[in-house]
Structure 1
Amino acid sequence: GGVYGERLSVGVKCPGDTAPLSWMTDGLGTIGAAAGPIGLFLIGNALSKGPDWKALDMPTNLAITFSKMVVMPCIALSTIFLWSRVAPLPLPWGHFCYMTALTVSATPTANNVIIMCEMAGGNRAAMGTAIFTQYACSPIVLTASLSAFMLFLHTL
């Protein structure tokens, strides 16, 4: 990949198999490729048993969901609005950058929190319940957020 990779002829691998540290870059590539599926296994394990409503009280659960699914997208929308006014990015790249930042802020919590909870030995049942609630609310809240984002980007 990268800029130098575009200048190589078709079929040439960079770095090549004879590079001094190709074994290390291949190993790191394999580990990186496994990160996504491992995260999905951990999320699936956390959500497979369903929510444990006793592990996380309802006001806390709703506050987590409201903060992640409503407050964070509003903060991101405000930040992107200011950014687009102070230092606008050229089109079409600006819209791609803005939409990516807004979408990441609006989607439910997932891989990184579950992995941190798994590694630190935290309360997996509580995290699973919080994530379950976010995913349960996401069809309505995420649709509203993405619609608002598209309306905002249309005005730029």
Structure 2
Amino acid sequence: MTTVVLLSWPLPYEATLKAHEVFQNTPHEGGEGRWALLRRRVIQHNIRVIATYYSCIEMDRVASLLDITKDEAESEISELVCSNFIEAKIDRPAGTVEFGKRKGTFDRLNSWAADVTSLLDRVDLCSHLIQKERMVHAARAKNAALLARNAS
């Protein structure tokens, strides 16, 4: 079971962990490699936690939450996406990451159609408001002309 909180790095109990024989080179070589792997797994855990809380987030914010560089964050997110642990889309020009399932073509088409319908409704409303404004001005002009004729 995983927790849904961000784990800080360096870990608060890092000295105790590093003293454990798993992270030492004495019984078996590669203790530093295992420590680096633990660090990567903590980063990947944190990315999965971020993905549960955010639908869209800037890469700068991801990097600051994970306390790593933007390039390292992008690399880890890409690896998690390729491994099918998370679903995300990185927009490099905008500097954002969108988490969640991608929309299928049918869903995108429905969304587009709904947006077009909404736009046309707003254009129709603007047209009605313009027509109403014209009628109000015409009525005021007609009323002013009647008042001027009656005054003379």
Q: Same fold (TM over 0.5)?
A: no
Higher relative contact order, structure no. (Cα contacts within 8 Å, ≥ 6 residues apart): 1
TM-score, with normalisation over the residues of structure 2?
0.27
TM-score, with normalisation over the residues of structure 1?
0.26
